Amino acid sequence: MDFDLLVIGAGSGGLAAAKRAARHGAKVAIIEGNRVGGTCVIRGCVPKKLLVYGSEYKETLQNAESYGWDIKNNGCNSQVLLANVRKEVDRLNQIYIKSLESAGIELITGWASFVDAHTIKIGERCVSASNILIAVGGAPTRLNIPGGELGWVSDDLFEAEQLPESILIIGAGYIACEFACILAGLGVKVTQIVRKHRLLKEFDTELVKSVETEMQELGIKLEFGCSPNSIQKQENNYYVNCTRNNSDSTASEQLSFNAMAVLQAAGRGAFLKNLQLEAAAITHEKDRIIVNEYQQTNIAHIYAVGDVTNRVNLTPVAIDEGRAVADNVFAGIKRVVNHEIIATAVFTQPEFACVGLSEDEANNRFGIENIVIYKAKFRSLQQALPAAGPRCILKLVVAKTSNQILGCHMVGNHAAEIIQMAAIAVGMGATKADFDRTMALHPSISEEFVTMV
């Protein structure tokens, strides 16, 4: 065999596995047909968060006068912002390439396909390995409707030279909501088209309603109950033709929305294109490769991690899964990744973050009579002088009998940073009494988590 481990995909999960395996003494190569860094670094978390920071300056500048600053706001030059974001992504890409060299990992450039269960073909080259890890991630999907090939997907937006004056965003998940807030903050007129009658279906209903309200106050037009039927382009405008089903009646109506651009953010799927999984007899479905708790496929020496398994599609999860594979195979450390207690953030404006069960999930699992809810809703001190801006909501979901914290949720400034720390306590089985015994850090937003009654 040419290698002890051959990794397909140089994204977060693949890089983590390759580096950990090399540290354990394995001979490792990693294959990548695009840029090293994967979705998170190249076309996802990192550039998106930079755009979030850029868009937040609109509110900062608006509030500056109330704090005594005399600032003339001439708006954002989106060309400069987008160019600087791409420059930072390029820098990170080179850092990752150099880190592979430093670790003694061979980088093979090209698209991989299986020849058999131990052999991979990249262009004209074939390489073999005792163990293979599939970490190719996911890719945006387009709507299967007439005109579904038109407009942007999220990857395309990062390559834009400048932003349009108006945009239609199709979708209700975190990608759609985050880009709606980013673009609205950068001065784009945003209409978001949503099939159902709420956003972010996997999150706490009450806090989602708060996010919806704040998004509308940003100027985002939310069109609920609208199922896209077709997309058309006429001269400089895109048209999304929809059927709206009203929640309060059985009647439906035909609508058409138009803007200078359209972003399809209605889902992602495993990037299985050209892998030829059948050549290695790997069991898979349309949108995922099936694995067990040790990330093994049905072929014992072939593993898969990250979004390609379509379990919990988050960067830190892919990283931990990749490291677990390397530990299991090359260090004899049998461990599995805990997919139960995972902190999650949606970088809307304001931020939404949580860990554990939502109120709805807890009620369904344990019964409403066995759950106690603690809440605080307020405008943060930072917003006191401008007397405007988003309100914070903090919620604890608690088991009545054991007093254990089942879920911790927050909408507000720095929600992701605060929930990250709360996740440690929730993961350790903290109770409401443990929170109550914790001295508050005043004045702060997070102190509300330990002062709720």
Model confidence pLDDT, tens digit, residues 116-149: 999 999 999 999 999 999 999 999 999 999 999 9
Cα distance between residue 122 and residue 114, in whole Å: 9
pLDDT at 73 over 90: no
Averaged confidence pLDDT in the chain: 96
* Residues 219 and 273 both lie in one domain: no
* Residues 220 and 307 both lie in one domain: no
pLDDT at 249 over 90: no
pLDDT at 389 over 90: no
**How much is the pLDDT for 281?**
98
**How much is the pLDDT for 250?**
67
Of 232, 266, 300, at which residue does a domain stop? 266
- Confidence (pTM): 0.94
What's the rounded mean pLDDT across residues 17-36? 98
Question: Tens digit of pLDDT for each residue in 332-376?
Answer: 999 999 998 999 999 999 999 999 999 999 999 999 999 999 999
8 Å CB contact between 15 and 61: no
Angle subtended by helix axes 12-23 and 315-330, to nearest 10: 30
* Residues 432 and 443 both lie in one domain: yes
**How much is the pLDDT for 340?**
87
Q: Residue 260's domain is classified under what CATH number?
A: 3.50.50.60
| Residue 260 belongs to a domain | yes
What's the rounded mean pLDDT across residues 389-396? 93
Which residue carries 């072929």 as its tokens?
299
| Residue 126 belongs to a domain | yes
Of 266, 285, 315, at which residue does a domain stop? 266
What's the rounded mean pLDDT across residues 102-107? 98
Predicted confidence band of residue 246 (pLDDT cuts 50, 70, 90): confident
**How much is the pLDDT for 230?**
98
How many C-alpha atoms does 67 have within 13 Å on its Cβ side? Answer: 12
How many domains are contained in the chain? 3
Work out the angle at residue 316's Cα, subtended by the Cα atoms of residues 312 and 317, and round it to the nearest 5 degrees.
Answer: 35
In total, the chain counts a number of residues equal to 453
| Residues carrying an active site annotation | 442
| Residue 344 belongs to a domain | no
| Residue 339 belongs to a domain | no
* Residues 416 and 370 both lie in one domain: yes
Question: Tens digit of pLDDT for each residue in 403-435?
Answer: 999 999 999 999 999 999 999 999 999 999 999
* Residues 175 and 283 both lie in one domain: no
What's the rounded mean pLDDT across residues 388-405? 95
What's the rounded mean pLDDT across residues 243-266? 89
8 Å CB contact between 9 and 303: no
- Phi and psi angles of residue 334, each rounded to the nearest 5 degrees, phi first: -80, 105
What's the rounded mean pLDDT across residues 291-313? 97
**How much is the pLDDT for 271?**
95
| Residue 340 belongs to a domain | no
* Residues 32 and 101 both lie in one domain: yes
| Residue 338 belongs to a domain | no
- Phi and psi angles of residue 206, each rounded to the nearest 5 degrees, phi first: -60, -45
**How much is the pLDDT for 309?**
97
pLDDT at 248 over 70: no
Q: How many CB atoms lie within 10 A of CB 351?
A: 24
* Residues 124 and 39 both lie in one domain: yes
Whole domain around residue 96: which residue ranges?
3-140+269-330
pLDDT at 193 over 90: yes
Q: Residue 388's domain is classified under what CATH number?
A: 3.30.390.30
* Residues 102 and 173 both lie in one domain: no
* Residues 236 and 357 both lie in one domain: no
| Residue 337 belongs to a domain | no
* Residues 291 and 372 both lie in one domain: no
* Residues 132 and 80 both lie in one domain: yes
* Residues 260 and 310 both lie in one domain: no
Question: Tens digit of pLDDT for each residue in 209-236?
Answer: 999 999 999 999 999 999 999 999 999 9
| Residue 145 belongs to a domain | no
What's the rounded mean pLDDT across residues 71-84? 89
Q: How many CB atoms lie within 10 A of CB 131?
A: 23
